[in-house]
Amino acid sequence: MFLPRNYGTWLLLFLLISPTLFSPSMSHLDSRWAAKKRHMREKVREMFYHAYENYMTHAFPHDELKPLTKSFTDSLSELGNLKLEHLPQDYNGSALTLIESLSSLVIMGNNTEFERAVIWLSENLTFNIDARINLFECNIRVLGGLISAHILATDSTNRLVHGSYKNQLLNLAEDLGRRFLPAFDTPTGLPYAWINLKYGVMENETTETSTSGCGSLILEMGALSRLTGDPRYESAALRALRKLWSMRSSLNLLGTTLDVITGEWIEYSSGIGAGVDSFYEYLCKAYILFGKEDYWRMFHSAYLAVQKYFRHGSWYHEADMRTGKATYWQLTSLQAFWPGLQVLVGDIGAANSSHREFVYVWEKFGVLPERYLLDHQMLHPTEKYYPLRPELAESTFYLYQATKDPWYIQVGESIVNSLNSYTKVEGGFASVRDVTTMQLEDHQHSFFLAETCKYLYLLFDDSFLVDRNYIFTTEGHPLPILSSWHERLPETYIPTNWTYAKSEQPTRPASAMSLQVCPATALRSGYAVQQIESACHVPDSRGDHRCFSDEECGVDSTNCRRRSCSMAGYCGLWI
């Protein structure tokens, strides 16, 4: 059928001047979406309690549940390699999954179970055990879980029913933080990846660690310092972060693994996935949480480098930190956190584009495989598993908060249905060993309750966030944004890049999610009109904007659109 050239213009005009023709159906549609969200919220609640109750029945107080055999594993430390009769006599279990579930219980409104868990941990949890633990994992899971739960327990809106809380979780967190400190006693200040909770760094301990492992400690250890008044934790994490940043290449890229004694890189190839992912996340979130300008400067430089050297259309490949040349063309499930981070800096267009690619792969296999080879459009031959990871649900939640596009609700529904169809068993939720056969593996990771269920629940019911301003750690533990933790106030946060504009009146910090403004636009609302450069800005290769191909053009600073090279040889928004 032939349509006139101005058909779209007339249709848009018709829709604008005829709202009464559509308002009844739109109202009905809104009602249907609200009903769907309530229904999906309850499905997620059922998922959470199916996983939680099976853990409490078959695995508590040990780390994690083995849902197929209805048994347990102590996965956080080397104790997981020992049989029950060989465990140290003083080991009573770290109750990892219980700790990870604390904030989820509060978000779902179960203060009674939250209080019961806090009391048990207060009376039974100890870290004075001969166990070699991974510093990064213990930091984000245990330390982060305890700190977040302490803050929630002292929040007047979540106060424990019987008023029995006397900072027990904070005391445990401080004890654990002190046991972390010997790991930082290196010539470089970069911490060992492994440490014994009772004896510190063991003889002949490996000196290899990852960028994430030594660069993603600042949120939890910084919060611990703010809560206790002891600066040692934040200072140690900040020193390690600054040392790591000083090791970047001239392209502002970092590698994946390094030596904590020599400060030399071991693996020069990196991307936004495993081994590096939370480094970028924590630079941005540390600035939001603590207001230190150094964090923003590091993040902004790193983000521009990622956009310039890793991004290829909607995908992100890996590259050599020294040359910027592509090394591995692969999608990994951990990369799915990236669109959520882009929402926080206002790069919604790029976030949506990447997110849709992850959704495509999810729908292709039913879940998200650990590694997918982009250059061959096929699964990695050995990494075909899906361990109930939360990253896609996390990004879906952030994008829905920023856009309110109901398509993301449909994505969340698809994720929930897949998890129930493929991974739910009588004893909980099992990981997928092979996404081509949906063969299951006997492991329910603690992050399924800490993150996967939490982000899905918040996608359908965000009432926990109403009139509150939180950031979530890389393990999904909420930390409040407090003026007392910021170095410089009053300032108002610009949603697209978290820089600031001076104000005569004290203003309440606002996030990109709460204001739903993107990309950078002129500020009004009582402030002087000011043009702000978005974090997504990638300059053109040449200062005179001349070009021979699209690759020499950057990303526009005001609307986050990719610039292209015209036939006349100039970069601009031609498309």
Q: Which residues contact 262 (CB under 8 A, 6 or more apart)?
A: 188, 207
* CA–CA distance, 332 with 383 (Å, rounded to integer): 10
- Distance between start and end Cα atoms, the chain: 26
**Of 46, 78, 130, 137, which is the active-site residue?**
137
Q: Which residues contact 370 (CB under 8 A, 6 or more apart)?
A: 332, 333, 380, 383, 384, 385, 386, 387
Residue 474, annotated as binding a ligand? yes
* CA–CA distance, 360 with 82 (Å, rounded to integer): 41
* CA–CA distance, 258 with 245 (Å, rounded to integer): 12
* CA–CA distance, 345 with 401 (Å, rounded to integer): 13
Query: Alpha carbon of 372 to those of 369, 396, 422, 516: distances in Å?
Result: 7, 20, 20, 32
426 flagged as catalytic: no
281 flagged as catalytic: no
On whether the CB atoms of residues 347 and 559 are closer than 8 A, the answer is no
Burial of 485 by CB count in 10 Å (0-12 exposed, 13-18 middle, 19+ buried)?
middle
b/e burial code for range 298-315 (CB count within 10 A of at least 16 → b)? bbbebbbbbbbbbbeeeb
Name the token pair of 318. 């890996």
Name the token pair of 77. 């430390």
**Other C-beta atoms lying within 10 Å of the C-beta of residue 265:** 19
551 flagged as catalytic: no
* CA–CA distance, 540 with 555 (Å, rounded to integer): 8
Q: Which residues pair with 439 in a beta bridge?
A: 434
**Of 63, 277, 451, 475, which is the active-site residue?**
277
Closest by CA position to 501, among listed 538, 545, 533, 478: 533
**Of 370, 451, 475, 540, which is the active-site residue?**
370
Burial of 89 by CB count in 10 Å (0-12 exposed, 13-18 middle, 19+ buried)?
exposed
Closest by CA position to 399, among listed 449, 458, 481, 454: 458
DSSP H or E segment with residue 564 = strand 564-565
**Of 63, 391, 451, 540, which is the active-site residue?**
391
277 flagged as catalytic: yes
* CA–CA distance, 368 with 415 (Å, rounded to integer): 10
Angle at 427 between CA 422 and CA 433, to 5 degrees: 40
Q: Annotated binding site, which residues?
A: 474
Q: Annotated binding site for Ca(2+), which residues?
A: 474
- Residues recognised as catalytic: 137, 277, 370, 391
